[in-house]
Amino acid sequence: MSFATWIAFVLAASIIAVSPGSGAVLSMSHGLSYGVKKTSATILGLQMGLLVVLFIAGAGVGSLLLASEVAFNIVKTVGALYLIYLGLSQWRAKIAVAGDLHAAAVLPSMGRRVLTGFLTNVTNPKGIIFMVAVLPQFISPAAPVLPQLLILAVTMCTIDLVVMHSYAYLASSMQRFFRDAKAVRKQNRFFGGLLMAVGAALFFVKRGAHATS
């Protein structure tokens, strides 16, 4: 892989990461609810899911999924239903109240936050579609594939880590406006509604469509 090719991938990966999607919504939601530090577990899960999707696409399995109507629809349905479930859970999330003037969303365990992030990315068929469409453009068939995939994976995850933490930080900076139970409930319903909307939109994703994750 040449340096020029890598730079081109950095630009493409940056655009992918910044583009709003389920990962960005989840990072902002958890950033606002739990703060940046605790959202790092969620973002770690997102990166684990991203790695799985990237290597699935790189190994050619993604192409098989796109070639099979049944397999693609199964992945799409699972991903859509999971995001809708996640949004509904956020909508109905319990609120912990400490005193009369302070309220916060109940913090899930670290493992639960990691798993939520992982499942959000790994069940997103749009991510597989995009990776299958994009990765071959940056992989040279004349060189070993695995080292190139590792370089692309490290590059993409590094960029995505920075972007997702930025989303979480921007959201967490607004925490002071969500100190009472009513405000926290509105926040939960806003982000829960967004996640359900993203999940519902996945039902309309078609094979061969190019979309960001």
Give the predicted TM-score (pTM) of the model. Answer: 0.71
Looking at the domain assignment, is residue 212 inside a domain?
Answer: no
Give me the pLDDT at residue 212, please.
40
Looking at the domain assignment, is residue 185 inside a domain?
Answer: yes
Q: Identify the CA nearest to 184 among candidates 103, 107, 88, 108.
A: 103
Looking at the domain assignment, is residue 207 inside a domain?
Answer: no
The tokens of 25 are what? 């919504």
Looking at the domain assignment, is residue 152 inside a domain?
Answer: yes
Give the torsion through C-alpha atoms of 12, 18, 24, 29, to 10 deg.
160
Give me the pLDDT at residue 85, please.
82
Looking at the domain assignment, is residue 10 inside a domain?
Answer: no
Domain encompassing residue 186: 22-202
Give me the pLDDT at residue 95, please.
59
The tokens of 92 are what? 């109905």
Give me the pLDDT at residue 164, please.
95
Give me the pLDDT at residue 39, please.
94
The tokens of 176 are what? 């002071």
pLDDT in tens, the chain (213 residues): 788 889 988 988 888 788 778 888 899 889 988 889 999 999 999 999 999 988 887 777 666 666 677 777 787 787 778 778 878 877 876 655 444 444 456 788 899 999 999 999 888 776 777 777 677 777 777 788 788 889 999 999 999 999 999 999 988 887 666 555 676 677 777 777 877 887 787 787 666 544 444
Q: Domains in the chain: how many in total?
A: 1
- What is the distance, to the nearest Å, from the Cα of residue 82 to the centroid of all Cα atoms in its chain? 12
The tokens of 208 are what? 């061969």
Give me the pLDDT at residue 71, please.
72
Looking at the domain assignment, is residue 15 inside a domain?
Answer: no
Looking at the domain assignment, is residue 209 inside a domain?
Answer: no
CA pair distance 43, 189, nearest whole angstrom: 21
DSSP code string of 48-65: HHHHHHHHHHHTTHHHHH
Which residue type does 132 have?
V
The tokens of 137 are what? 């453009």
Looking at the domain assignment, is residue 161 inside a domain?
Answer: yes
Give me the pLDDT at residue 134, please.
72
A 10 A CB-CB count for 186 gives 12
